[in-house]
């Protein structure tokens, strides 16, 4: 029996744009901006489901990169799809819907700010 699931494989929230997306180097600031990859600590993990459109198209894997903001309710909000492979079979929408269930730990927020934005990578793989 094939189980329809997805993995939140890498979650990266940083205050700065990634070099691949930046067109110019950022201006120096007095406060250092972290460029390390940060994985949110989840109290309740996002509930991701493999999109029906992908199954109907015979697609067994997909990758999505979202840009999200840390909200005051310890959830990621205002997410937008930065990239989706393959496009057009529902991976971006499935990632955004699944993140609605996720709740970030209070401890993680002690080192990050509400309103901070960053990139979140979601990998979908069909479990067998």
pLDDT in tens, 3-57: 444 444 333 333 332 222 222 223 333 332 333 345 788 999 999 999 999 999 9
Tell me phi and psi for residue 53, to 5 degrees: -60, -35
Q: What is the pLDDT of residue 38?
A: 54
**pTM summary value:** 0.70
Distance, in Å, from the CA atom of 55 to the CA atom of 90, rounded to the nearest integer, reads 10
Q: What is the pLDDT of residue 19?
A: 26
With residue 107 as reference, give the H or E element that holds it: helix 106-109
Name the residue with tokens 């990239």: 83
* Window from 60-69, 72-81, 113-122 with minimum mean pLDDT: 113-122
The dihedral built from the CA positions of residue 22, 28, 33 and 36, taken in this order, carries a sign that is positive
Domains and CATH numbers, the chain: 7-18+34-125 (3.30.2420.10)
């Amino acid at each position: 029996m094939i189980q329809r699931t997805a993995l939140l494989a890498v979650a990266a929230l940083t205050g700065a744009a990634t070099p691949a997306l930046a067109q110019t180097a950022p201006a120096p600031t007095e406060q250092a901006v972290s460029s390390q990859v940060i994985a949110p600590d989840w109290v309740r993990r996002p509930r991701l489901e493999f999109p029906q459109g992908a199954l109907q198209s015979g697609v067994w894997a997909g990758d999505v990169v979202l840009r999200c903001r840390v909200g005051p309710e310890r959830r990621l909000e205002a997410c937008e799809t930065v990239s989706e492979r393959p496009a057009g079979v529902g991976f971006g929408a499935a990632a955004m819907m699944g993140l609605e269930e996720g709740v970030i730990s209070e401890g993680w927020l002690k080192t990050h700010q509400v309103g901070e934005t960053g990139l979140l990578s979601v990998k979908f793989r069909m479990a067998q």
